[in-house]
Amino acid sequence: MSKPVFATLAILLALPAGAALAQFTGPSDVQQGGDAKYPAMTVEAIKAGAEDETKATIEGRIIRKLADEEYLFADDTGEIRVEIDDDDFPAQPVSETTRVRLQGEVDTHRVKETDFDVDRMTIIE
């Protein structure tokens, strides 16, 4: 195969691959942060009656440590107690001003308030 034909063929094969990686980056009506397994929710929605063991993603800030592996989390709609295992924390430091995304499960109780058991925590840049 001649060099010009090979170069043309290589360019034509590379073009669709680049287009497949492109994503829309403009405004969206879709709530960010969730996925099929952990849909996005707010603290208000969780406290309003989410069922026990409902998987969810919440975004906001950890505002205070309450006890070993227990923290107070806040988003724009309210506050909820979250349980985060030490090994689920990211390598970067997290303060009360750091925005985080928590994926986990709603944990309802008969006597105490509903809380959130974290499976995964990521820092939002």
What the chain holds in terms of domains, given with CATH numbers, is: 43-123 (2.40.50.200)
CB 106 within 8 A of CB 116: yes
Tell me the average pLDDT across 45-72: 95
The pTM (predicted TM-score) of the whole model is: 0.72
Tell me the average pLDDT across 1-18: 62
Q: What band does 108 get if pLDDT is binned at 50, 70 and 90? A: very high
Q: What is the pLDDT of residue 125?
A: 75
| Nearest partner of 115 among 75, 79, 68, 89, judged by Cα | 79
Residue of higher predicted confidence among 103 and 110:
103
- Count Cβ atoms within 10 A of the Cβ of residue 118 and give its class: 0-12 exposed, 13-18 middle, 19 or more buried: buried
- The pLDDT of residue 29 is above 60: no
Q: What is the pLDDT of residue 25?
A: 46
Q: What band does 17 get if pLDDT is binned at 50, 70 and 90? A: low
Q: What is the pLDDT of residue 3?
A: 67
- The pLDDT of residue 39 is above 80: yes
- The pLDDT of residue 112 is above 50: yes
